[in-house]
Amino acid sequence: MPEKNPSIAAGVRIGHVHLKVADLPRALDFYVGVLGFEVTQRYGPQAAFISAGGYHHHIGLNTWESLGGSPPPSGSTGLFHTAILYPTRAALADALRRLVKAKIPLDGASDHGVSEALYLRDPDQNGVELYWDRPEAQWPRDAQGGLAMMTARLDLQSLLAEK
């Protein structure tokens, strides 16, 4: 049996995702126009970097290898979804209102106990999860103190009522 390496540093996090898209203006219409990200830098007509709150970039969008391309076929490997973490339930509610206004359908909406999440597809059929984490003190635990995550139906009307 191989020797186990030490755990990764606790402060490590995913910094950004870079997505191949078929049509950059269409992708920007979704990520900037609907979700509200801001463009931080453009590389001509081929790429753009977008962020929330002035960070250099949370998402890169490019057509370098995918201009006019089609989504990967079902049953192939690749990215399942990009998860975008909102700071509060109210901010997630705002995201849902934006999706409703833009008539973008959800693939699902779940309460995982530790978080509430909306699932959808971007214009290139990349999976997108929009979610907020409950405070850690509210996370469900089993009898031994371990996480007891679940997947239950998310009450969208309750979320929409959040201010």
Beta carbons of 107 and 153 less than 8 angstroms apart: no
15-68 architecture in CATH? Roll (3.10)
In this predicted model, what pLDDT tens digit does every residue of 113-157 receive, in sequence order? 999 999 999 999 999 999 999 999 999 999 999 999 999 999 999
Structure tokens at 137: 């003190």
Helices (H) and strands (E) in the chain, counts: 3, 9
Examine the pLDDT at 2 and tell me if it is beyond 90.
Answer: no
Mean local confidence (pLDDT), 90-107: 98
CA distance 21 to 114: 31
Structure tokens at 124: 């290139």
Q: CATH 3.10.180.10: which residues of the chain?
A: 15-68, 81-163
In this predicted model, what pLDDT tens digit does every residue of 28-59 receive, in sequence order? 999 999 999 999 999 999 999 999 999 999 99
Residues 6+ apart with CB under 8 A from 24: 45, 46, 47, 48, 61, 62, 63
Mean local confidence (pLDDT), 77-93: 96
Beta carbons of 115 and 50 less than 8 angstroms apart: no
Mean local confidence (pLDDT), 58-73: 96
CA distance 94 to 134: 17
CA distance 23 to 71: 12
Examine the pLDDT at 161 and tell me if it is beyond 90.
Answer: yes
Amino acid 153 reads: R
The helix, strand and coil proportions of the chain, stated in percent and rounded to the nearest 5, come to: 20, 30, 50
What is the third-level CATH fold of 81-163? 2,3-Dihydroxybiphenyl 1,2-Dioxygenase; domain 1 (3.10.180)
